[in-house]
Chain A
């Protein structure tokens, strides 16, 4: 980071800070218009939170494959959703809150977290008393925070987004520390605690923060080896964030240890063709293109603007997480998108403040006869950048929405026999009945479960373990390779499927949706299809037509669902 130069006159970049506030407000207002576009992963975590509130034991009473911290963080949203539902006197809520109230409460809680994060960053920047140059970079990054919130799109509020919101004040704090500022201890502890809490959301998040610290250490030739207070606070909060393990009983711990964690680890290193299909996927290539452009620029500017280093490091951390999860979903790209927005804003201000604009102004006297004119040009240019970025992002979202309309209409237009699975669930079941979706993935099970306002039958909130198990078999992995005792796989397979069979027989969900292909074949192989056919009638095939904006997250034509309806 650039060293502080106390002899320089301290001057707050008011215009940049004003721009940051405006962009941030615009992003929250824009997202408020689309609050009903709730990501599937958020619905999943809210469902888990709801069950915890209802007294169920995670992992034992219901399947969950994330850190419980995220479920606990969703509890306020669930309470708020119930409150909204009660206020609206919705008769449909017996157990499940209506989708609109979940979406609204999730939006409100996320927006409040975003405001807290932004205000903290704002305070860190304005109270840093850094020289002009680094201060302008930080103020530009603050604009990037606004842009990043806007760019979250329909995954606004997902786990990675929450992590970014909690991490950003820490990044700003570290940046001003590297630049020589001395923020108060309470602020350092607060930022560290928030970042530690964010890192606890997923085991993949802490390495991102560590990478930032290591990269900075290496770049300064290990000059400041002693960890600062904020880092200790971070570690302490991180350790605390895993204390949810203490709330589990022995049975839940056994489930977690015996198969949930091993299967999750296996799913991260196996080719999960069931996750994304071979020929189609959530297509976020545009993010990779932009990431490349930003990285190339960072490689060039890094020696002149060291603040880009932590941002680019977070980008690379986010990129690695995206690769490791292998789903290709927008919710897994949020860290990358977030840090990219921050880096882009910093790059924009570097170019605007750079010699290119000044030289241009010098060459054209109309622009340079007064210094104020050059400054005005800079202000206009940055305003143009902000408006342009917001416009481009809004344009892209609008186009994606139009594309989804095509996706919605397309298959039906081609083949009207395929009913939308959401319609199938609502048409073939009553509000008090349970439903079951088996597709080997989390999406689109959620948000469909949440949207149809029906109870979920049985243990599996997500049937992802089924596809992981199938992939383990397809890759011919043995118990030994997985580090488990002989016969573990066979027992586990029997356990997973027999549980489904038993739950169907006991709980009798009104509708069962089984995705064709791998999931259906395995269910047939394990005798579940024959169990289903005893009490259910086949109602043809359905498809998922994404109503979410953003990329075509599983609104793919490859996926066909067999619809089974309970016999009267």
Chain B
């Protein structure tokens, strides 16, 4: 088969009936919106459900609005965009008096709806061409991907996927030579730029499909298209904003936080085969399968190979990161979802002509419409039914305890919420010294308590201890990081004295190891008494 013959087989630019494409887009958009509405409905019924990482950034945004300085008055390792991004749900929660977790989930869904509409807008440019079929399949796949998110819902990786999806489809049309509107490109580029700026390696993920398209077409011009410039502009503005940050904040971030995490990153690293072959093995199998599909169907469209390139590069980032954290797999899942959607659509046209008729595009459209309406309807009703059953089976938790009206499933509340509510009052400060963000977050948000320290979680302590214990560390570095650890402990003691937390939660393992030579509890918590021990965490309450 020659290259030219293959080009004629590609369905991306094959002419297609305008009315049918309008109908397909309408049905696809309706199905995508319905999927999102179903997902949104789930979160509406779980107004207090928020997971640890997401909760931390919302809390940091809350503190930011109160005038606290990141990395000085509140410590974390992530660049500040994740904090700025959560300002809106905090404001909404404050002005409409709704729980922050609910405000957060609605915010994420608003972004998902916006993303969906942007994709619809982008796909309008492909009307009357075969590309709209694949675009609609990708749109529904993206909506499905958003709808099934639970534990990673609202993670930075998820937000990235939400804002990147329209950009990906726009780029597909750009590389295929469709004429696209300038405003459309700018809007989509700006939207994607925010996501790309979250973490530096998101840009690497986004580069993979660009490389695949560039190699396929051999063109250079799409590399400097309007949407790319708009996205780059957002990243540049974000980078420039560092110049205007207070010197104290920059110094704390770049000279204190970053060196510690750089040196101690391996504390959280687990073995590569454990990371890829245990919990998320099925995702990698699916990646291999969709890649095979993309290889087999590459001559019909560039969309599936590009989606697989994105998924593969995201998989590489997951392996590079070195942990088995589910959030790092989110982008792989979106790539897989899009590839599956597009490949199913392409596979249909491989059916014998006598089955699907002479006009294959028309035939695929009818198949998609039937499948979308019947299959989508069935899926949506069963998803609703599951949610309703789960709602019915759950024990309701009265939100009046927290100053809100209504109920939520009691399972949504963290197990430590009860001890926190019983032993402290609204407005009290509480301190969690734990090796991860959980269970401090979401407890702080679910109980509306105030953090008692600049350290919102205790990750810094085990990392510093791990670095100091490393046998290969030079003496100079050991001294340096020992001083850092002493400084962190001094800050903790200062915060305890100043903010007088009502409750202190200490995770026994690894904090017993961390505080081995510091006599922390006797020295700094003399007026605290241990009231309970739960799940390896000791709970201390202030005596007075």
- Residue positions of A touching B, CB distance < 8 A: 1-3, 211, 214-216, 218-222, 271, 273, 275-285, 288-289, 292, 295-304, 306, 309, 312-313, 316-317, 319-320, 323, 326-328, 355, 414
Q: Which of A219, A222, A312, A328 contacts B273 (CB 8 A)?
A: A328
**Which residue of chain B has its CB nearest to the CB of A293?**
B316
Known contacts A295-B309, A303-B299: does B215 contact A218 (CB below 8 Å)?
Answer: no
Known contacts A281-B272, A281-B273: does B319 contact A288 (CB below 8 Å)?
Answer: yes
Contact B295 A313 (CB under 8 A): yes
Query: How far is A273 from B2 in the complex, measured between Cα atoms in Å?
Result: 50
Residues of A within 8 A of B294 (CB): 299
Contact A302 B309 (CB under 8 A): no
Contact A316 B288 (CB under 8 A): yes
Contact B270 A292 (CB under 8 A): no
Contact B1 A276 (CB under 8 A): no
Contact A278 B277 (CB under 8 A): no
Known contacts A3-B1, A215-B292, A328-B273: does B278 contact A271 (CB below 8 Å)?
Answer: yes
Contact A219 B292 (CB under 8 A): no
Contact B216 A301 (CB under 8 A): yes
Contact A313 B1 (CB under 8 A): no
Query: How far is A328 from B270 in the complex, measured between Cα atoms in Å?
Result: 13
Q: A281-B273, A299-B298 are in contact. List 18 more A-B contacts (CB 8 A).
A: A3-B1, A218-B350, A220-B1, A275-B273, A278-B274, A279-B271, A285-B320, A296-B309, A297-B215, A299-B212, A299-B216, A302-B298, A303-B302, A309-B296, A312-B295, A313-B292, A317-B288, A414-B471
Query: How far is A289 from B319 in the complex, measured between Cα atoms in Å?
Result: 8
- B506 contacts the other chain (CB 8 A): no
- Residue positions of B touching A, CB distance < 8 A: 1-3, 6, 208, 211-216, 218, 269-274, 276-278, 281, 284-285, 288-289, 291-299, 302, 305-306, 308-309, 312-313, 315-316, 319-320, 347, 350, 471
Contact B297 A303 (CB under 8 A): no
CB of B312 to closest CB in A, whole Å: 5
Residues of A within 8 A of B281 (CB): 323
Residues of B within 8 A of A300 (CB): 211-216, 305, 309
Query: What's the count of A-B pairs with C-beta under 8 Å?
Result: 142
Contact B284 A302 (CB under 8 A): no
Q: Which among B215, B294, B295, B299 has the highest number of chain A CB atoms within 10 Å?
A: B295
Residues of B within 8 A of A280 (CB): 271
Contact B291 A312 (CB under 8 A): yes
CB of B393 to closest CB in A, whole Å: 24
Residues of B within 8 A of A219 (CB): 295-299
Query: Which 5 pairs from chain A and chain B are nearest by CB?
Result: A300-B215, A328-B273, A281-B271, A299-B305, A218-B296
Query: How far is A91 from B471 in the complex, measured between Cα atoms in Å?
Result: 45
Query: How far is A98 from B197 in the complex, measured between Cα atoms in Å?
Result: 60
**Which residue of chain A has its CB nearest to the CB of B310?**
A296
Contact B296 A323 (CB under 8 A): no
**Which residue of chain A has its CB nearest to the CB of B218?**
A355
CB of B241 to closest CB in A, whole Å: 32
Interface of A is mostly: helix
Residues of A within 8 A of B305 (CB): 299-300, 302
Known contacts A219-B296, A296-B212, A319-B288: does B3 contact A303 (CB below 8 Å)?
Answer: yes
Query: How far is A264 from B327 in the complex, measured between Cα atoms in Å?
Result: 32
Query: How far is A289 from B315 in the complex, measured between Cα atoms in Å?
Result: 9
12 A-B residue pairs with Cβ-Cβ distance under 8 Å, sorted by A, are A220-B1, A221-B350, A278-B274, A281-B274, A284-B272, A299-B295, A299-B309, A300-B211, A303-B6, A303-B216, A328-B272, A328-B273
Query: How far is A221 from B296 in the complex, measured between Cα atoms in Å?
Result: 9
Contact A296 B274 (CB under 8 A): no
Known contacts A320-B285, A320-B288: does B1 contact A2 (CB below 8 Å)?
Answer: yes
CB of A105 to closest CB in B, whole Å: 31
Query: How far is A214 from B350 in the complex, measured between Cα atoms in Å?
Result: 13
Contact B1 A298 (CB under 8 A): no
Q: Which of B269, B288, B297, B316 contacts A289 (CB 8 A)?
A: B316
Query: How far is A278 from B211 in the complex, measured between Cα atoms in Å?
Result: 35
CB of B78 to closest CB in A, whole Å: 23
CB of B5 to closest CB in A, whole Å: 8
Contact B271 A276 (CB under 8 A): yes
**Which residue of chain A has its CB nearest to the CB of B306?**
A299
Q: Which among A289, A302, A304, A414 has the highest number of chain B CB atoms within 10 Å?
A: A302
Residues of A within 8 A of B319 (CB): 285, 288-289
Residues of B within 8 A of A276 (CB): 271, 273-274
Query: How far is A73 from B216 in the complex, measured between Cα atoms in Å?
Result: 43
Residues of A within 8 A of B278 (CB): 271, 326
Query: How far is A288 from B317 in the complex, measured between Cα atoms in Å?
Result: 10
Contact A323 B350 (CB under 8 A): no
Residues of A within 8 A of B471 (CB): 414
CB of B278 to closest CB in A, whole Å: 5
Query: How far is A303 from B2 in the complex, measured between Cα atoms in Å?
Result: 9
CB of B298 to closest CB in A, whole Å: 4
Contact A215 B288 (CB under 8 A): no
Contact B211 A297 (CB under 8 A): yes
Residues of B within 8 A of A279 (CB): 269-271
Residues of B within 8 A of A312 (CB): 291, 295
Contact A316 B273 (CB under 8 A): no
Q: Which among A220, A281, A299 has the highest number of chain B CB atoms within 10 Å?
A: A299
Query: How far is A214 from B284 in the complex, measured between Cα atoms in Å?
Result: 20
